Chain A
């Protein structure tokens, strides 16, 4: 249907082709400093007359009158204007746009220039991206934009990344911004979290890893409501627009080759006791050391951590052939993690093509990318209990145990060696993202654009835990457990926009109107197995998949939600078309697994939107923008199916006013207000009563109990998006011809109608119910950016940039108390560290006040053995980035530091593993435990003892590059070598491995922040890079 539409539209466009011949004309050639420039836009101001330079940079433009203004414009170059006075030939040399003044800024459904932007928008171009090992695009701009906090949850390759633009505004839902890649708003998800096979569940992968950082031209962060309101119900957390590289710079065909080889090592380890120290500590705490001496002296961190080499190669071809351009690229990344069994192998391929037809009236763009990512993860979980996960087991394993696969302690303690060799977790993700757009100039000032997008991702995660693994108390020994999860995402997009511009002489009007339809389908299955009948890991995975195929094949076309197979036989639970529970079926023979459960999901959400934007500019001095988006979403209740999101902004080029001192080369004031939404936390079908069978599970003896059937959501026709009203004022300033430039912004954001899964008023069908809570989250703050070109000479440049942001967060008008920040570990069941409450920031710590140990080594809690607010939160007050770049002749150097201040970290790792009680139970600890005065019988309850300042300043990136001087006749156009260091040092008072940490520890469906529990250690990486073009 939609494909047909496109062809229809193209057909109709033929009808409007045409043009008139005119007498007066001019021709010429456009150059840049390297040679002729194809594809330059040439227009005559105030008319629909225009042309474009051809392959050799030449052009002809007709129908000219004296005093017409001919405008030459090209992305990345300064626009030039020439007054026509009857010349026969006009040659123009365009200068590269270094001053950023006319830099193109990508905004929603269009572009503008920095000069004309009315919103708080920060663009980071490829040349300013962070270098080195980059798994995911967000890392490219970490620390580059004020008010944009980007943190990687851990050091694992492909781990999730959190982005907070102007604070954390949503209590429950994802606070990540909306990502738009070449006009396609991406949906969340698409990767499976780790299933719990016996040590807690794990996080999902970063869904953005599918983009090759080398393919990205620029990333634009839309921060204020006036900029994001065009994305309506998805704009509240800000928007990040990613533009991929086109072939526009590749005139005549350019090949580019990038190769990086990186060496990584764990940047910090714990100071654990060695064998003899451990035995003497056992005696110190009253144990019988000889009973615990197994004779070896193993450094378990050395066993589990490793030094690795990663490789990243990419190859691209681009060609600008006059009527269009094309770029194709291939990327191959092999990133190894610093923990054994962790890696990410990635293949990406991309083709971007653009071609103009019918005298440039029709422009067709096609962008297509395919990626295949293979992740391998170790047995590291978010919520392991008393036995720990791989890292927990590593930290408290007895160092006198041998590093021996067959060694068993016999008392339920896990052998780290076995966790390495007897566990496998592989995740394969294939993703295709294609978008095709056609833009037709109906009139010179009226353009119509149709954009079609298709995004498909298929991920399969397979985890197996061998029956040979000892010590698990969930039936794993002798049986084994396995899980297979398929997560598929299919999104379709149709955008239609009309763009109208009108020049009134001293004012300009630009109007955008659009329609958008997007559908999001998520479907897949979760298969679990018990008793895999082999201890070969690959065979276990095969057996599970074969068992599932065999069972599903035998069920045939009968629809069902789930099935279960065990020694009691095979059953299915049906929902549609009829509800039918626990239907016994004849099991097919030869199922290679003793117990299997399968559970399926498949749901589709739709979003239909109408939007418009008006930009009005008077005298190039006063700029107005109004936007409105109406979003209809299948996630909202019937009473609120459509949401309306208006915004308005005003900008004033003050430096053009006489009363502003000449010293300002730029001074622009921006004022904006708007309302945006967030529908992310809502999920599918939470506004109507829906029934499903609960998730099946396999008992510790292999039994499968048919799950119960019940309502999973209540009727709530009033359910709607979360709403954020944001007001902001900003100034862009420049001195000395903008050699010193920057911006200052202040903002106030108020998020209301908080989407929360609240405790149901019982009796109710389920403990939680979705509702819009009558409370608000306030974020307010200041952002400041400055850039200074300290030295600007022909062969030497030195630039310094600094950005800092302060944000204040508070929950208001909330009359409940909700616990979050689950604390895990030995004797910490049910423990939590954070409480959501009125008048406090999100993620406020709620802990016992700890005041040392008494003479018996028991904790002293002066305010009682109860938790209370301690006036500290996990949210940083200040985030900053410091950048400096220096170049001298062929050499260049860059340094980039990132910092965060004011946040506190709950060191759950220390709470669970580094206490006297742990050494007193025969497990290893860090050296400080022996001398801190704690008794082995003391209970390390959740308290401020484990709360630490998380301030840090990190040398994120330090790079040195050398560009080789090439001879004219050289085969190569350019050749550059670079050496990049990442995470070379961190200055922090935090005692854990790294202060930039966030182990997901949600409780009551409220996310947590700032909890550090056996987080994957971060690496220090040195990369040697080679870039060549020919």
Chain B
């Protein structure tokens, strides 16, 4: 018995020696200061890089923000071509305004842009000890993300760094969210670097903040449900003038702007690869040396939209009388055989030979489509702004461009803003600049429709069409392959997963 006791004592001793406190160690990840979960700040430089990198990938894809803003508009559609681009109906639902709270892009965009807001909030928090410029950049990015959430979804949740996952984020109304974004941008302005045209405009500058402020004030009355306030419109004019004061200006050579070069128009770009903008529209057999896989044969435009450009609607080869921005289809094998702007009719390869599709028929892009379903490989006019000749995967995607600012200023004046210039004058200034083939005649008067059409011709495929259509009251109209005129579609639904995870959110009307 004595032995037993000895032995038991020894066992207890052994166990107590070998007992561990069960704490994990920092070996391949950095733990927050306290394990209690209290926020102790993030590394500002690394986190800011991370945030830019996130936005870069959010912009790069043909899904997400691009799809919500472009495929839901009268500029783009992604027809289902037999087995291709069915993608469980996500593209058809976007174009005919039949999306629901389970929609992929509705969900992913909500998550990624709200995530941006939170990451920016962590950088802005004083405990992260960011420099004033880092705070300003984070505020710019938070303003940018908040703007899109408010614009797309009409409400914006918010979480402070100290609110853990068990806290349901509070929700800002659309007006509150826009005020919040405006405040961020105004606070950011003094500490942002000022820069004129340069190759490093992939980070926030004063000009980028001024551009976004102009955009917010131009749209503010839509968010408030009122008519345009002339004071706001004058602010738009002032912000655009501030951009101009930094050295930005309209640039000639429309398609050159989309090369990876310094030009006077680019105010903000991301290093997102432009591949998805190129290949999503080109046919499988249209190719560049750095992309053996060929195009993806997806995105096309509507003939109604194509017809808003000056020129013969049935042909778009060089010298066929079209305006510069409509581009052309080369017939002599130049530019890898791939056109600029709008690709319609027979396509040619890099030797100038007429191309065939995958089953051996002529590769002849049609004006019209049978509908969203039942398409073959050649239906629909393609549109391309970034060109594979400049690299099929170049990392240079424009977010803010001076021509947009220029047209915002014109529109603000049209809507009652005060300026020494006139809206018509500004629009004609741009049209004169784009007058490459002598077909862009000056307008004699400027209606709202003219303004919208000019924005469409200048800015197609640059993320703004849905926003423009809503501001001009046209988003709920019927157009080709879209019959749904439900006005509640001006807002996307709150994703189903978000409604479940945060009871403070209330689903938008109509969903």
A positions within 8 Å CB-CB of B: 1-2, 5, 9, 12, 15-16, 282, 285-292, 386-387, 410-412, 442-443, 446, 448, 470-478, 494, 496, 498, 515, 517, 523, 561, 573, 575-576, 579-582, 600-606, 608, 632-634, 638, 641, 684-685, 688-694, 699-701, 703, 705-712, 714-718, 758-767, 769, 771, 815-819, 823, 825-832, 856, 858, 865-867, 912, 915-918, 920-922, 935-942
Contacts and interface: CB of A to CB of B under 8 A. Distances in A.
Contacts of B168: 761
A917 B82 contact: yes
A287 B279 contact: no
Interface string B360-371: 110000000010
A827 B395 contact: no
Contact of A690 (B30, B296, B377, B393): B30
Contacts of B36: 638, 715, 717
B215 interface: no
Contacts of A937: 81-82, 370, 373-376
A708 B49 contact: yes
Contact of A684 (B24, B37, B104, B359): B24
A858 B29 contact: no
Contacts of A286: 359, 361
Contacts of B85: 827
Nearest to B111: A767
A717 B360 contact: no
A290 B360 contact: yes
B164 to A, nearest CB: 5
- What 5 A-B pairs are tightest by C-beta distance, nearest first? A473-B293, A708-B50, A715-B37, A291-B360, A288-B360
B441 to A, nearest CB: 41
B501 interface: yes
Contacts of B26: 575-576
B353 to A, nearest CB: 13
B82 A701 contact: no
Contact of B50 (A474, A605, A709): A709
A707 B53 contact: yes
Interface string B32-62: 1001111100110111011111101000000
Nearest to A942: B88
Interface stretch (B115-123, B307-315, B319-327): B115-123
A825 B104 CA distance: 17
B7 interface: yes
Contacts of B47: 708-710
Nearest to A16: B3
B333 interface: no
B84 A830 contact: no
Contacts of A5: 14, 17-18
Nearest to B35: A688
Contact of B84 (A476, A580, A827, A922): A827
B361 A579 contact: no
B28 A603 contact: yes
Contacts of A694: 50, 53
B157 interface: yes
B500 A699 contact: no
B252 interface: no
Given A603-B24, A690-B29, A700-B273, A412 B292 contact: yes
A763 B118 contact: yes
B24 A634 contact: yes
Given A473-B294, A762-B111, A769-B165, A496 B11 contact: yes
29 contacts: A290-B360, A386-B84, A386-B296, A443-B3, A523-B27, A561-B28, A575-B28, A608-B19, A688-B37, A689-B37, A691-B29, A691-B30, A693-B46, A693-B50, A700-B290, A701-B391, A705-B53, A708-B46, A715-B37, A715-B164, A761-B169, A765-B118, A765-B119, A825-B83, A827-B80, A830-B88, A917-B82, A939-B373, A940-B86
Given A412-B294, A766-B115, A685 B29 contact: yes
A208 to B, nearest CB: 26
Contacts of B37: 688-689, 714-717
A865 B87 CA distance: 13
B405 to A, nearest CB: 28
Given A705-B56, A715-B37, A764-B165, A442 B4 contact: yes
Contacts of A477: 292
Given A5-B14, A688-B37, A830-B88, 19 more contacts: A16-B7, A292-B360, A448-B11, A472-B292, A473-B292, A573-B46, A581-B46, A581-B49, A693-B46, A708-B47, A708-B52, A763-B121, A765-B118, A816-B500, A819-B102, A831-B86, A858-B374, A921-B82, A937-B375
B271 interface: yes
A476 B375 CA distance: 31
A683 to B, nearest CB: 11
A921 B359 contact: yes
Given A703-B395, A759-B111, A826-B83, A710 B498 contact: no
B493 to A, nearest CB: 14
Contacts of B88: 823, 828-832, 867, 941-942
A710 B377 CA distance: 43
Nearest to A934: B82
Nearest to B56: A705
B445 interface: no
A412 B284 contact: yes
B165 A714 contact: yes
A759 B498 contact: yes
Contact of A473 (B51, B291, B394): B291
A314 B88 CA distance: 52
A287 to B, nearest CB: 3
Contacts of A710: 42, 47, 50, 119
A941 B86 contact: yes
B343 interface: no
B358 interface: yes
B497 A689 contact: no
A767 B82 contact: no
A769 B157 CA distance: 17
Given A12-B10, A831-B87, A762 B169 contact: yes
Nearest to B500: A816
B35 A918 contact: no
A575 B30 contact: yes
A517 B21 CA distance: 11
B23 A634 contact: yes
B24 A761 contact: no
A33 B212 CA distance: 94
Contacts of B373: 858, 937, 939
Given A494-B18, A603-B28, A940 B83 contact: yes
Given A638-B35, A715-B37, A830-B90, A763 B361 contact: no
Contact of B89 (A763, A816, A817, A941): A941
A787 B104 CA distance: 53
A817 B11 CA distance: 51
Contacts of A411: 284-285, 294, 358
A922 B359 contact: yes
A706 B385 CA distance: 27
A150 B43 CA distance: 48
Contacts of A387: 293
Contacts of A763: 114-115, 117-118, 121, 157-159, 169
A498 B165 contact: no
A774 B360 CA distance: 57
A272 B289 CA distance: 33
Nearest to B370: A937
A762 B495 CA distance: 11
A9 B14 contact: yes
- Interface-central residue, A700, A710, A763, A818, by most chain B CB under 10 Å: A763
B269 interface: no
Nearest to A494: B18
Nearest to A823: B88
A699 B395 contact: yes
A370 B364 CA distance: 64
Interface in B379-418: 391-395
Interface in B222-241: none
